[in-house]
Amino acid sequence: MDSFHFDSSSFDVHGDYGTGTDDEASAQSGLITITYGYSRDHQPDLKQFILDLMWSGDGYIPLYLRVADGNEVDSAMFGTLMADFHK
Domain boundaries, the chain: 4-86
Element (H, E) at 9: strand 4-13
Q: How much is the pLDDT for 19?
A: 57
What share of the chain in percent tops pLDDT 90?
A: 21
Report the pLDDT averaged over residues 32-48: 87
By mean pLDDT, which of 13-22, 29-38, 52-61, 71-80 is the weakest? Answer: 13-22
Hey, which of 4-8, 18-22, 24-28, 74-78 has the most confident mean pLDDT? 4-8
| Cα–Cα separations (whole angstroms), residue 57 to 10, 25, 48, 69 | 22, 37, 28, 27
Please name every residue paired with 66 in a beta bridge, in sequence order, or none if there are none.
52
Q: How much is the pLDDT for 18?
A: 67
Contacts of 54 by beta carbon, 8 Å cutoff, 6+ apart = 4, 5, 6, 7, 62, 63, 64, 65, 81, 85
Q: How many angstroms separate the CA atoms of 3 and 53, rounded?
A: 14
Q: How much is the pLDDT for 48?
A: 92
